[in-house]
Amino acid sequence: MPPPFLLHPHSPAPPAAAGSLSLQQQLLRLRRGGGSGPVRASWQELAGVLVFSAVPFTAVKVLANSPLGARLRRRLEDRKAAAAAEADALRAASRQARSSSSWYGGDRPRWLGPVPYDYPAHLTGEYPGDYGFDIAALRSCIVGGPCLLLSVLLSLSS
């Protein structure tokens, strides 16, 4: 009979010997620290664990050292160079779009519109949704301090 942790949830329960504890009672006993000592395993169980944990690593190593692995590595390097060039082009396009947008920078729409107000220096219009109003006084918080959670929650709510 397989160990209890290998039984399917819908399979019938194994027949209990007279005087033995049910699986639920055994789990409760283990949870309370009333175990019966060190865990014991047969050599078949240990051999199975070793074989099934070593086989995937060995297969990956064999594949990596094969001609197929070398071909896959070359294709990956080719794709990596193309992806890096595409990422650079996207970053440049993003910077250009941000600099030409009226929603970013010093001329962006402000919270109070044309009303004169001493806007905080740390709100420069670098991020979307920055209208120059720091409702929670986050500028006085230390980076990574307790106000970090508040700033994350406020950004998620907008």
Q: Tell me: pLDDT of 137 over 70.
A: no
C-alpha distances in angstroms, 107 versus 12, 132, 135?
Answer: 72, 11, 20
Of the ranges 10-19, 43-52, 90-99, 130-139, which one carries the lowest mean pLDDT score?
10-19
Residue 15 located in a structural domain: no
150 in any annotated domain: yes
Q: Are residues 115 and 158 in the same domain?
A: yes
Instruction: Considering only CA atoms, give the Rg of the chain.
Output: 31
Q: What is the pTM of this model?
A: 0.37
Q: What percent of the chain has pLDDT over 70?
A: 64
| Cα–Cα distance, 41 to 45 (Å, whole number) | 6
Provide the pLDDT for residue 119.
76
Structural domain count of the chain: 2
Domain extent for 91? 43-100
C-alpha to C-alpha distance for 144 and 39, rounded to whole angstroms: 43
Q: Are residues 92 and 122 in the same domain?
A: no
